Amino acid sequence: MSDGREIVIDVRNVVKTFDEGHTRALDGATLQVRRGEFVAITGPSGCGKSTLLHLIAALERPDSGEIVVYGEEITRRRDLSAYRARTIGLVFQLHNLLPNLTAAENIQVPMYETDLSAGQRRRKALELLALVDMADKARKRPAQLSGGERQRVAIARALSNDPPILLADEPTGNLDSKAGLRVLEVLRGIQRQRGVTLVLVSHDPTIAAAADRIVRMLDGRIIEEGASAEAAARVV
């Protein structure tokens, strides 16, 4: 795919093993993602798709290969905390919300390392809740929310520091089909409205079909990639 937009994620021949080298999760994976693109990574369980996402997020380091994000080779950086805080927003299958905090308070947690005042943090949290159609749930704690609502709060939290890249690892995996599609609508709306680059891992073909491009993995390698049927229909 070449549409003139800059490449913001460039994964080059990455290898990642676990169990002292006995389990090869990634075996020379190579992937490029362009600014503002929505890419879905699919494949069977254990194919390496979540490992690839975690490496882009700098939660793990590869054994070999390079990962270049916005022109910087992140695998060579020693301190990646600023990269994780400012460049990457993460949404996991489990929402990981703090149970004793309200929805608005959960969203503010990543902002504590910024220069924003308490009032600014509060206002921004409310704006993000409105963005994910949860403005009326600001004072609710996670136990008072449905699974889909908790995941939308988690998406808002991932956006708290305005990251240009949003990574979502099976964000609808624990939800029923209706709630899952609602979460997908929120993610896709954010990607389009804000120009965020969205990389989403999913085993669900319905979810993957909403992406601009689908990448299929098998045995730690990318075996196929191309425009989704929905994306192809948009350009016809």
Which residues 6+ apart lie within 8 Å of 216 measured at CB?
Answer: 42, 43, 222, 223, 224, 225
**Domain 1-87+163-236: CATH architecture, name and number where available:** 3-Layer(aba) Sandwich (3.40)
What distance in Å separates the CA atoms of residue 107 and residue 162, rounded to the nearest whole number?
A: 12
Which residues 6+ apart lie within 8 Å of 58 measured at CB?
Answer: 74, 80, 83, 84, 88
Q: Where are the domains of the chain?
A: 1-87+163-236, 94-162
How far apart, in Å, are the Cα atoms of 77 and each of 57, 68, 82? Answer: 13, 11, 11
Q: Which residue has the higher pLDDT, 222 or 82?
A: 222
What's the half-sphere exposure (Cβ side, CA atoms, 13 Å) at 234? 10
The string of pLDDT tens digits covering residues 128-156 is 999 999 999 999 999 999 999 999 999 99
How far apart, in Å, are the Cα atoms of 42 and each of 53, 60, 66? Answer: 12, 20, 22
The string of pLDDT tens digits covering residues 45-81 is 999 999 999 999 999 999 999 999 999 999 888 788 8
What distance in Å separates the CA atoms of residue 107 and residue 129, rounded to the nearest whole number?
A: 8
140 with 90: CB under 8 angstroms? Answer: no
Is the pLDDT at 233 greater than 90? The verdict is no
> If we measure between CA atoms, which residue out of 142, 138, 158, 160 comes closest to residue 150?
142
What distance in Å separates the CA atoms of residue 204 and residue 215, rounded to the nearest whole number?
A: 13
